[in-house]
A and B are shown apart, each in its own frame.
Chain A
Amino acid sequence: MGRAPRKQLDRGKGLDRRTLLIGGGAAAGLLLAWGAWPRTYAPNLAAGPTETIVNAFLKIDRSGQIIVVVPQTEMGQGVTTVLPQILADELGADWRTVAVQSAPISPLYANELLAREWLASDWTRLLGDAGRWAIDQYATRSALMLTGGGTSIPMFHDAYRDAGAAARVLLCKAAAARWSIPWESCDIQEGLISDGAQRRMKIGDVAGEAMAFDLPPILPYRQGQDGRLAGQDLARLDTPSKIDGTHNFAADVRLPDMVFASIRQGPIGDATLAGLDDRAASSVTGFLKLVKQDRWVAAVASNWWAANKALDLADPVFTLRGTAVSSEGIDAALEAAFSKSSGRRLYAQGDLEPVFDGATILASEYQVDAALHLAIEPPCATARVTEGGAEIWMATQAPGLARDAIADALGLSRDAVTLYPLHAGGSFGRAMDWDVGVQAAMIARDMGRPVQLLWSRLEDVIQDRPSAPARARMAAKVGRNGAIEGWLAKVAAPCAMTQTWARIADGKLPHEAAQDGAESANRLAVAGMVPPYAIPNWAIDHYPADVGLPLGFMRGNARLHGTFFTESFIDELAHLANIEPMSFRIQMLGGNPRLAHCLTTAAAMGGWQGGVAGSGQGMAAHMINGAYAAVMVEASMSGDRLSVGRIIAAVDAGDPVHPDIARQHIESGLVFGLAFATGASVSYAHGLPTRAILGRMNLPRLADIGEVSVEMIRSTADPAGTSDLVAPLMAPAIANALYTWTGQRIRSLPLVGTP
């Protein structure tokens, strides 16, 4: 089946042909033009003797191997397949010749899209384009390489297509020169350059000389659908090593003379090391040393279990300043936030006051607990520090910031620190923080030999930086015809993304970062809460808080709580208005046909019975940055046990580059969202979580997953990020389903108590 040609994107960045050509004549040091403010960045890709650097995203080996360079962190989302696929499609490569390599740290790979989302403040927004430009410049100049928020494909799609197109033109020119024909008659398919007739030449045969040619002023994209790789379910490049156990995660690195370390960082908050039992630790076979810092202690041994056992025996004692975090304290801080003067109206439309004045208002209060990441790979880093500098092997979603933090901690220049980016075993936002890399480097320096630091699961649960706990006061006025005339959402929550930034970019300690953000309202804390529905008067208020628990970047971020509030409350209003919940939504989605289509598709696939009592069916829908989704579930309760029998998702996320990986994102998000709805959180007392056993977090296992149906709606729109899309929809969909089953409205997450 043919694919409709993708429409040309608006290229606001003003890329010119020199941007694409940074490798040609590398000895001469070609310059890179960058947007409206030309700056020069030398490419820092390493190349073997038979490799030609085409540009920042591509090397070609004389043998014909296509080596695509990817700055984004592979966490299972398939980015090390999809970005190479975009390039290989435009180049005309044979997929079997495509390899992928992690990018070095360079301004060329800055993720301006996520930086804008993260750093846009009121003043940059007021400045409009100039504000955006300022953030972009900041992101670029500080080599702000970031992975998260589903931004990788929207951010880099064009760059990889352009890199592939530039390479194709240059290779065609080189082949055409050999054949003495015009280059325009040449084409590349399956890695072979053709002259438009019978002659063929391998890419690798002319790769070395291709860089001597110039690019045309306007870069031509491939025409035609023959042999295209985009839109195909190609083999993931990371699959072979993941099925035979050879995929190297940070804990799988083995260096000569390397030893193993485990760490304790005390309770949550402003904790410092007070004392420990040195002698007990030294009784462990294989124990080598305790490495002490102000805020942590690590034991080093010839194997990790011995190191961890030595720590247990050393039984370190910490002094905690300030209030110890507790669940009651978190609740109280959120409640108190509503009466603080720092609350602000961040989004509004129309005028709520006259609508609400003297009217009957439906009001509901919701609460969401902090949710843990619980990636199966705990934080880990391997480090070697010598007089010549430091080398760190770790998975990080912010490699530039991690490298800078390690350099600062060791007192080294940034150039003296080499960070080898590894793939993450899950992460889900956890690897935005770089503490484990800094700690590993400091221990390695102390030991004078390579060290692998692995956090125990206990340490991971204590020192996780969960998603924000949040409380909402929702209020609405519904008119006689069932139309919502006014909508007000007041949300008390810390801003987890602001805290994360303060830690990873400004080096704040976790408790400092939490305190610093306690007085400023922030749009990131209520992201996605602008209702997608046509409501004439609405407002979203944020009341900031410090709950004493440092919080972090998470799959879905603030949408995890925001979507629960919005989509649960909409369901309440539908039942109040006595209108079937899907029609209730659809009647307000006249201006949003893509979201309406997702809803009707999910309902049709799932056999939607109209949300009637006893059906056990519930739905939820929303959109994120050009991606639309609706989820329908069938859920039931028997005693305290919740079971979700069927999950149906309908998604419109544009025309995906790799449809099956997009589908994996959706399946993955549904399961992640189920865990968020039913567990993945703990209670806190005396500065510690009250439990840390992974088996007691209500995480779904295979037996908990019934029928899962995913419909990817065909679209010709540009591909949107899908990794964060559906996870936030599961909690409201299940809560809405349980309302029809039990008649009880559950307004807090997790929906059920953990065992």
Chain B
Amino acid sequence: MTKFTVNDRPVQYRMDPDTPLLWALRDASNLTGTKYGCGTGDCGACTVDIDGEAVRSCQLSIANAEGRFVTTVEALSPDRGHPLQQAFAADNVSQCGYCVPGVIMAASVLLRRNSNPTDEQIDAAITNICRCGIYPRLRGAIKRAGRIMRGEERIAAAPPPGITPEEAARSVPALGRSASPPKRQP
């Protein structure tokens, strides 16, 4: 029962099979990038990719996820390198950031099918609710991500995680004398 794949790993949840996928991801797998906003499928903060579809994970029980492939924002890219993540950074889209993982997941599904969507296609795919009002920048950022996917534009707007102090000091003259303890030898 309730065996499926989350971010390329096989999982089996020892939870009530009626448990919505959202809570299995958040409270059992600690994949907290997927957010709870309403529990009624309206806001889209819990959007994940299931077999290439954008699905509101608060509306799908783990029983009904049996055998399927779930991808959360944590596995969208290993280094914030997904074109949407870079475009969101370059266009300064996020404000509070709570709805952003869900928006990015919904947009990633759209762009995988159609890297050159029209405004109407974007509007139809992104039905998430954002209360901060990132909407005025959203279509532009999604289209920019599409251009990156099509190879028409390259940006490096947000750095990857895990840069060591030594690496940072090599490109930033103001940095030096690492504060961190020396690396352990393998």
Q: Which residues of A contact B (CB under 8 A)?
A: 48, 50-51, 61-65, 74-78, 93-94, 96-97, 190-192, 202-205, 233, 235-236, 238-249, 251-252, 254, 260, 284-286, 302-306, 374-378, 423-428, 454, 456-457, 660-661, 664, 667-672, 675, 693-695, 699-703, 705, 708, 710
Contacts and interface: CB of A to CB of B under 8 A. Distances in A.
A28 B34 CA distance: 48
A557 B144 CA distance: 37
B19 A305 contact: yes
A56 to B, nearest CB: 21
Contact of B174 (A202, A240, A247, A670): A202
A14 B74 CA distance: 50
A592 to B, nearest CB: 28
Given A233-B92, A286-B15, 12 more contacts: A63-B176, A63-B178, A76-B96, A202-B177, A241-B97, A243-B104, A246-B74, A303-B19, A305-B20, A671-B133, A694-B129, A701-B129
B32 A243 contact: no
A192 B173 contact: yes
A668 B172 CA distance: 34
B85 to A, nearest CB: 4
Interface string B108-138: 0000000000000011101111111111111
B115 to A, nearest CB: 19
B185 interface: no
Contact of A245 (B23, B34, B42, B127): B34
Given A97-B172, A708-B136, A254 B30 contact: yes
Contacts of B101: 245
A376 B133 contact: no
Chain B CB within 10 A, most for which of A48, A192, A245, A377: A245
B11 interface: no
A702 B131 CA distance: 11
Contact of B98 (A65, A376, A668): A376
Contact of A428 (B99, B104, B131, B165): B131
Contact of A243 (B39, B88, B123): B88
A430 to B, nearest CB: 11
A668 B92 CA distance: 13
Contacts of A699: 129, 131
Contacts of B35: 249, 251, 376-377, 425
Contact of B179 (A65, A96, A303): A65
Interface of B: 15-16, 19-20, 22-24, 26-28, 30-43, 45, 72-74, 76-77, 80, 84-85, 88-89, 92, 94-101, 104, 122-124, 126-139, 157-159, 161, 165, 168-169, 172-180
Contacts of B124: 703
B132 A243 contact: no
Contacts of A694: 37-38, 40, 42-43, 129
A254 B26 CA distance: 10
Contact of A63 (B104, B122, B126, B175): B175
A204 B175 contact: yes
17 contacts: A62-B177, A63-B176, A64-B172, A93-B174, A191-B175, A233-B92, A239-B89, A244-B161, A245-B32, A245-B73, A251-B35, A376-B38, A376-B96, A425-B97, A426-B132, A667-B133, A701-B128
B38 A667 contact: no
Given A702-B138, A708-B136, A76 B95 contact: yes
A388 to B, nearest CB: 26
Nearest to A97: B174
Contacts of A192: 173-174
A671 B135 contact: yes
A378 B72 contact: no
The 9 A-B residue pairs with the shortest CB-CB distance, nearest first, are A245-B33, A191-B174, A671-B133, A76-B96, A425-B98, A242-B97, A695-B42, A76-B95, A303-B27
B76 to A, nearest CB: 8
A62 B33 contact: no
A428 B131 CA distance: 9
B118 to A, nearest CB: 12
Contacts of B74: 244-246
B38 A695 contact: yes
A240 B30 contact: no
B131 A675 contact: yes
B78 to A, nearest CB: 10
Nearest to A461: B38
A284 B179 CA distance: 49
Contact of B43 (A240, A302, A376, A664): A376
A94 B38 contact: no
Contacts of B159: 240
Contacts of B175: 63-65, 94, 97, 191, 202, 204
Contacts of B76: 244
A398 B60 CA distance: 37
B120 to A, nearest CB: 8
A216 B80 CA distance: 46
Contact of B123 (A204, A305, A703): A703
A69 B34 CA distance: 29
Contact of A94 (B43, B139, B172): B172
A708 B132 CA distance: 15
A304 B174 contact: no
A238 B132 CA distance: 15
A61 B157 contact: no
Residue among A76, A191, A242 having the largest count of chain B Cβ atoms under 10 Å: A242
A664 B91 CA distance: 11
Select the residue from A61, A65, A76, A204 with max chain B CB neighbours within 10 A.
Answer: A76
A667 B97 CA distance: 15
A457 B46 CA distance: 14
A48 B32 contact: no
A205 B179 CA distance: 12
Contacts of B158: 235, 239-240, 243
A303 B174 contact: no
Contacts of A240: 80, 89, 158-159, 161
A243 B80 contact: yes
A277 B42 CA distance: 31
A376 B15 contact: no
A270 B11 CA distance: 46
A713 to B, nearest CB: 18
A97 to B, nearest CB: 5
Contact of B28 (A63, A303, A428, A456): A303
